[in-house]
């Protein structure tokens, strides 16, 4: 493989002393040699337990500390300190499979992907707090998506796995960073901005990450944040997309209508003022599809 860029693995750490060593070891175990590992301690309140573990690997990782600001701020802090040409994110409670980086780097040449303006996204398998695999049904597919198709995929299919991503640092250098007010949908928020700014995605069906599910996660403890931050993301995108190609605003309208977002009326009024024709029929069909999908999910989780 002739293409061998330096990859920076950013590991945000907050009160994760029970898992951080496993995460660091999975990063060190990568069979891809050109890597740096940056652990960002986001103001942990664990009496230095996480720091002590990281100190054991002082000769192999870069360890940084900052005041608590949330995962998004820790990621931004690490990205700005990174020397790598590519950025990979590893949560302190998740794990990489050994071939994660080498597989993804190879994808750029194997599939003739844009090395500066395209992200690679791989799936992750679920494990519990003890590392035992959990069953999680999902349709795995390989997709080579343009920016517009990536935007639609994120709205109407699913958010790509943040820890399953490999991202050219040049994309962040456009001024596209994580919204530090977001705690729940920080990844979805940023990937949508990537797509709106012309970034495409290659979605690969291979599982290269183990995502841990446990009771201490924000996504478990503060589920009410999801709805709030999703609404804030749509409102933020609406303001941003006013100066973008109409395609994105039209797709955002369909999503806002189909998911009952409060801002849908504002989008419709703005589109009327700007003579942008919205597809209300598509919005209605998507509303039914999403409603049916949500009902099926509830049935599955009730009887599984």
pLDDT tens track for 215-241: 776 555 566 789 999 999 999 999 999
Cα–Cα dist 28/30, whole Å = 6
Q: Is 1 within the bounds of a domain?
A: no
Instruction: Give the predicted TM-score (pTM) of the model.
Output: 0.94
- Pair 106, 34: CB distance under 8 Å: no
pLDDT tier at 293 (50, 70, 90 boundaries)?
A: confident
- Average confidence (pLDDT) over 286-302: 80
Residue 298 has pLDDT above 90, yes or no: no
Residues 238 and 278 in one domain: yes
Q: Please say whether the beta carbons of 255 and 156 come within 8 A.
A: yes
Q: Of 220, 248, 270, which residue is a domain's last?
A: 220
Site of tokens 């398998």 = 125
- Cα 114 from Cα 108, distance rounded (Å): 7
- CATH number of 64's domain: 3.90.550.10
Residue 2 has pLDDT above 90, yes or no: no
Same domain, 114 and 238: no
Handedness of CA 47, 49, 50, 54 (dihedral sign): positive
- pLDDT surpassing 70 at residue 143: yes
Both 51 and 188 in a single domain? yes
What is the average per-residue pLDDT within 247-256?
A: 97
**233 and 129, same domain (yes or no):** no
Mean residue pLDDT of the chain comes to 94
Are 89 and 75 in contact by the 8 Å Cβ rule? The answer is yes
Q: How far is CA 38 from the centre of its chain?
A: 18
159 and 202 part of one domain: yes
Please check the confidence at residue 282 and state whether its pLDDT lies above 60. Answer: yes
Are 104 and 248 in a shared domain?
no
Q: Over the stretch 145-179, which tens digit does the pLDDT of each residue have?
A: 999 999 999 999 989 999 999 999 999 999 999 99
Read off the pLDDT of each residue in 283-287 and give the average, rounded to a whole number: 93
Other residues' Cβ atoms within 10 Å of the Cβ of residue 262? 10
Q: What is the pLDDT of residue 139?
A: 74
Res 267: pLDDT:
97
Contact between 32 and 97 (Cβ < 8 Å): no
87-101 residue pLDDT tens: 999 999 999 999 999
Q: With cut-offs at 50, 70 and 90, classify the pLDDT of residue 296.
A: confident
Statement to judge: residues 237 and 213 lie in one domain = no
Give pLDDT, residue 137: 73
Q: For residue 61, give its domain range.
A: 7-220
Confidence label for 300 from pLDDT (cuts 50, 70 and 90):
low
Per-residue pLDDT averaged across 113-139, rounded? 92
Q: Give pLDDT, residue 224.
A: 79
Q: How confident is the model at residue 135 (pLDDT cuts 50, 70, 90)?
A: confident
């Amino acid at each position: 493989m002739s293409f061998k860029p330096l990859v920076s693995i950013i590991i945000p750490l907050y009160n994760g002393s029970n898992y951080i060593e496993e995460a660091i070891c999975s990063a060190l175990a990568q069979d891809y040699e050109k890597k740096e590992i940056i652990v960002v301690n986001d103001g942990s309140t664990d009496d230095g337990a996480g720091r002590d573990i990281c100190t054991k690997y002082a000769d192999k990782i870069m360890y940084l500390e900052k005041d608590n600001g949330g995962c998004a701020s820790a990621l931004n802090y690490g990205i700005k300190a990174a020397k790598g040409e590519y950025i990979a994110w590893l949560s302190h409670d998740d794990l990489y499979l050994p071939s994660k980086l080498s597989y993804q780097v190879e994808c750029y040449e194997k599939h003739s992907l844009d090395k500066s303006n395209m992200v690679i996204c791989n799936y992750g398998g679920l494990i519990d707090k003890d590392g035992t695999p959990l069953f999680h049904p999902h349709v795995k597919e390989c997709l080579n998506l343009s920016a517009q198709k990536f935007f639609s995929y994120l709205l109407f299919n699913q958010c790509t796995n943040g820890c399953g991503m490999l991202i050219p640092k040049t994309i962040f250098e456009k001024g596209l960073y994580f919204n530090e007010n977001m705690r729940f949908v920080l990844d979805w928020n940023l990937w949508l901005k990537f797509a709106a700014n012309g970034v495409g995605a290659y979605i690969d069906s291979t599982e290269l990450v183990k995502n841990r599910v446990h009771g201490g996660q924000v996504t478990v403890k503060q589920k009410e944040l999801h709805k709030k931050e999703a609404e804030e993301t749509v409102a933020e995108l609406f303001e941003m997309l006013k100066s973008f190609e109409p395609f994105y605003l039209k797709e955002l309208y369909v999503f806002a209508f189909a998911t009952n977002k409060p801002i849908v009326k504002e989008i419709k009024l703005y589109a009327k003022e700007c003579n942008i024709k919205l597809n209300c029929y598509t919005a209605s069909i998507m509303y039914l599809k999403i409603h049916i999908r949500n009902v099926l999910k509830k049935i599955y989780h009730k009887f599984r």
